[in-house]
Amino acid sequence: MEQQKVLLAEDDKNLGTILQSYLIAKGYPTDLCADGEEAFIQFKKNEYNICILDVMMPIKDGFTLAKDIRNIDKEIPILFLTAKTLQEDKLKGFELGADDYISKPFSMEELLMRLKAILRRSGQNENLSKNNIYKLGKFVFDYNRQLLVIGEDDQKLTSKEAELLKLLSENLNQVLDRSEALNKIWFDDSYFNARSMDVYVTKLRKYLKADPNVELLNVHGVGFKLIINN
Exposure string for 117-145, b = 16+ CB within 10 A, e = fewer: bbbebbbebeeeeeeeebebbebebbbbb
Q: Do the strands 133-136 and 139-142 form a parallel or antiparallel pair, or are they unpaired? A: antiparallel
pLDDT value of residue 230: 64
Q: Which residues contact 209 (CB under 8 A, 6 or more apart)?
A: none
Residue intervals of the chain classified under CATH 3.40.50.2300 are: 6-121
Residue-level pLDDT, tens digit, the chain, 230 residues = 457 899 999 999 999 999 999 999 988 999 999 999 999 999 999 999 999 999 889 899 999 999 999 888 888 899 999 876 666 666 777 777 788 888 888 889 888 888 887 887 665 544 333 467 888 889 989 888 889 999 888 899 988 899 999 989 888 888 888 888 888 888 877 888 888 899 999 999 999 999 999 999 998 888 899 998 86
Residue intervals of the chain classified under CATH 1.10.10.10 are: 133-228
**Is 6-121 in CATH node 3.40.50.2300?**
yes
**Is 133-228 in CATH node 2.160.10.10?**
no
**Residue 27, burial from CB neighbour count under 10 angstroms (0-12, 13-18, 19+):** exposed
